Homo-oligomer: A and B are copies of this chain.
Amino acid sequence: MSLFNISDKNQLKSMYNNVVKKYEAYKALNLNLDMTRGKPCTEQLDLASGLFTCLAEDDYKAGGVDCRNYGLVDGLPEAKALFAPIIEVSQEQIIIGGNSSLSMMYDTIARALLKGVPGVNEPWSAKGKIKFLCPSPGYDRHFAICEHFGIEMITIEMTVFGPDMDEVEKLVASDESIKGMWCIPKYSNPDGITYSDETVDRLASMTAKAKDFRIFWDNAYVVHHLTDTPDRLKNILEACEKAGNPDRAFVFASSSKISFSGAGVAMMASSENNINVIKKQILIQSIGPDKLNQLRHVRFFETADNIMVHMQKHAFILKPKFEKVLNILETELADKQIASWTKPNGGYFISLNVLDGCAAAIVAKAAEAGLILTSAGATFPYGKDPRDRNIRIAPTLPPIEELQKAIGLLCICIQVVSLEKILKSN
Using CB atoms and an 8 Å cutoff, list the residues of chain A in contact with chain B: 37, 39-40, 42, 45, 48-50, 52-53, 55-60, 66-72, 98-100, 102-103, 106-107, 110, 113-115, 123, 125, 141, 144-145, 148-149, 256, 260-263, 281, 284-293
Contacts and interface: CB of A to CB of B under 8 A. Distances in A.
B52 A56 contact: yes
B106 A285 contact: yes
B70 A262 contact: yes
Given A50-B57, A55-B52, A103 B286 contact: yes
Contact of A290 (B263, B281, B288): B263
Nearest to A72: B262
Given A57-B52, A125-B125, A106 B286 contact: yes
A286 B103 CA distance: 5
Given A114-B114, A290-B293, A261 B69 contact: yes
Given A37-B70, A99-B289, A100-B288, 20 more contacts: A39-B69, A45-B60, A45-B69, A48-B68, A49-B57, A49-B58, A50-B57, A52-B57, A68-B263, A70-B261, A70-B262, A98-B99, A102-B285, A102-B286, A103-B286, A114-B114, A115-B148, A144-B284, A148-B284, A262-B287
Indicate the member of A53, A56, A100 with the most B CB atoms within 10 Å. A100
Contacts of A290: 98-99, 262-263, 290, 293
Given A100-B286, A100-B287, A67 B263 contact: yes
Nearest to A264: B290
A420 B299 CA distance: 55
Contacts of A145: 284-285
Contacts of A114: 110, 113-114, 125, 149
A231 to B, nearest CB: 25
A262 B286 contact: no
A291 B256 CA distance: 13
Contact of A106 (B60, B68, B284): B284
Contact of A57 (B53, B58, B103, B113): B53
Contacts of A53: 56-57
A72 B39 CA distance: 14
Given A106-B286, A149-B114, A262 B100 contact: no
By Cβ-Cβ distance, the 4 closest A-B pairs, closest first, are A52-B57, A263-B292, A49-B57, A68-B260
B56 A68 contact: no
A383 to B, nearest CB: 14
14 contacts: A42-B66, A66-B262, A67-B263, A68-B261, A68-B262, A72-B262, A100-B286, A106-B284, A148-B284, A262-B291, A262-B292, A263-B290, A263-B292, A290-B293
Contact of A39 (B70, B100, B102, B106): B70
Contacts of A60: 45, 52
A62 B284 CA distance: 33
A314 to B, nearest CB: 14
Contacts of A289: 99, 262
Contacts of A256: 70
Contacts of A148: 115, 281, 284
Most interface-central of A68, A284, A291 (chain B CB within 10 A): A68
A101 to B, nearest CB: 9
Given A50-B57, A52-B57, A293-B293, A262 B288 contact: yes
A37 B69 CA distance: 11
A69 B99 contact: no
